[in-house]
Amino acid sequence: MIFGPVAGQYLGDMGADVIKLEPPEGDLTRSIGPRRSPKMAAFFLTSNRSKRSIVVDLKRPEGRAILQKLVAKTDVLLHSMRTPAANRLGLDYKTLSATNPGLVYCHLTGYGDDGLYAGRPAYDDIIQAASGLAMLQTVVAGQPRFIPTIVADKISGVHAAYAIVLALMHRMRTGEGQQVDVAMFETMAAFNMLEHQWGHVFEPPVGDMGYLPVATAARRPYKTKDGFLALLPYSDAHWNSFFELAGESHFMEDERFATFAARQKHFRDVWDEIERQVARKTNAEWLALLSPQDIPFSVVNTLEDLTTDPHLQSVKFWEMMEHPTEGTLRMPRNAISMSATPPQITRPPPNLGEHSAEILREFDYADDAIAQLLAPSGVCAPQP
């Protein structure tokens, strides 16, 4: 639901002409969340900008013929159908690359097409559980919990976008297309193991799994007199500055805090001391003290705070756009900055089938054929 749309949205922001092919009833996310119009819900709007929409009923032979005609002239096909369903529709790489040898065919799955779990269905919660991410929350919640964001979908979407770009670079050099497979399970297993493999990097292991300064309930924002603060003095210079600001410079003579190695060893004592010091002042007092310093810190924002955050406002993070049917929309801009080819929101999120006629015309369909395809009984007619 989000894995593929996120990947396509990133590519669209970077200038790709992204054609979103939808069934007659539309993408499921069109009906998830608040909305001003039918099939234009918030969840769809945040993950489908910079795209055009065409409706094609792939259950009908005429619909499959349209898709095959589109794919024959495009650079990339990105889809998340499970393999048996894609094969039944003639959407396997072998078939499509026969007419388009330069095609980059990106297949998104939960578990890939090889191995014991191949073909299993998956959503974000399932992959958080399978990859160990839900179990990691036990240190905080006392039992497995899902992170309250669709992190597996979004991280896998980023992987798919950069995999497609790498395949396009290869094609530029050689003219050769290829099949690209991105599986959520493998993606998130590798993501989690970056720090948590720990002693099991070695064979035989030289310690347990888990990076303890991260995998602990004690890792949390610190309570101030009137709010919360994230604070992470790291270097010796940071710690000297922090204890001076707190009026406790003698703490740097404590062997637990004097060196980086000692602070790593006694990290819980370190955090306890930060907690005691931070609790003595308000958020505003800490902001005034820390802002001129080089110590990493942040107040703890709510989601609502982000819409008025002064830094995000100063870098023009929020883009206001006028949608032809949905009115004013607030969109976060693409977070990447590039000096020569900056990303930009190229199109507002499309209405269902908004560009069907336009796209069909670009792929050499005659006007009478387009009228037939868009008629109420045609394969490109959206359902109300």
Which residues are known to be catalytic?
Answer: 153
Of 347, 360, 228, 358, whose CA–CA distance to 297 is shortest?
A: 228
Nearest Cα residue to 307 out of 298, 315, 317, 297: 317
Give the number of other Cβ atoms within 10 Å of residue 247's Cβ: 9
State the Cα–Cα distance between residues 20 and 50, nearest whole angstrom: 10
CA distances from residue 81 to 67, 247, 264, 272, 381 in whole angstroms, order as listed: 14, 61, 46, 50, 22
Candidates 80, 72, 114; CA nearest to 97 is 72
SS3 18: strand
β-pair type (104-109, 76-79): parallel
- How far apart, in whole angstroms, are the C-alpha atoms of residue 175 and residue 37? 44
Grouping H, G, I as helix, E, B as strand and the rest as coil, residue 107 is: strand
Are 127 and 152 in contact, with CB atoms under 8 Å apart?
A: yes
Pick from 160, 184, 177: nearest CA to 18: 160
Distance CA 13, CA 343 (A): 5
